[in-house]
Amino acid sequence: MTKTESAANRLTGIWRLVAFELEDQASGERRPRFGTKPNGRLMLQDNGLMIAILTAEGRKVPKTDEDRVDAFNTVIAYSGRYRIDGDRLSTDVDMAWNEAWVGSAQVRSFRLVDSRVQLFSDWGPSPFDPGKTVRGILVWEREIGLG
């Protein structure tokens, strides 16, 4: 079994979101993006399909257009086929809450530590704070292993 196959086996399963932070490249400051207790689930199947959904803590049922905008800005959801190359997890997005992601490759570095996996996005323009360069740091805890 290669190192990549071993990592794929260890990533396969269902994960619960523990933390979602954005790190500012210029200042190094890290801030929770969806609160201190975000909600989320990541499913990585052994057939190469992944599905992720993240929501902010404290969301309310939207009743107005402003509420619906807030609801859109407090969720991330996408799916697609994934592959692993070394410490990189790349997903070819086939559907997403944000249509701009469909057809793109979402690439994350990962680090496995005990029953948790940390995912790091590449540095890029913040979708939430124009003019800032950030990366997302997500910590997931294993719920169920499939491998």
Residue 5: its pLDDT value, please? 63
**Residue 1: what pLDDT?**
58
Global pTM reads: 0.88
Exposure on the CB side of residue 76, measured as CA atoms within 13 A: 19
CB 108 within 8 A of CB 85: no
Indicate which CATH number applies to the domain containing 119: 2.40.128.280
Number of domains in the chain: 1
**What is the pLDDT, as a whole number, of residue 20?**
97
Structural domain boundaries, residue 62:
3-145
pLDDT in tens, the chain (147 residues): 566 667 778 899 999 999 999 999 999 999 999 999 999 999 999 999 999 999 999 999 999 999 999 999 999 999 999 999 999 999 999 999 999 999 999 999 999 998 999 999 999 998 778 899 999 999 999 997 655
What pLDDT does residue 128 have? Answer: 77
So what's the pLDDT on residue 130? 85
- Whether the CB-CB separation of 147 and 12 falls below 8 Å is answered with yes
pLDDT at 14: 96
Nearest to 21 by CA among 30, 10, 29: 30
User: Positive or negative, the Cα torsion across 105, 106, 107, 111?
Assistant: negative
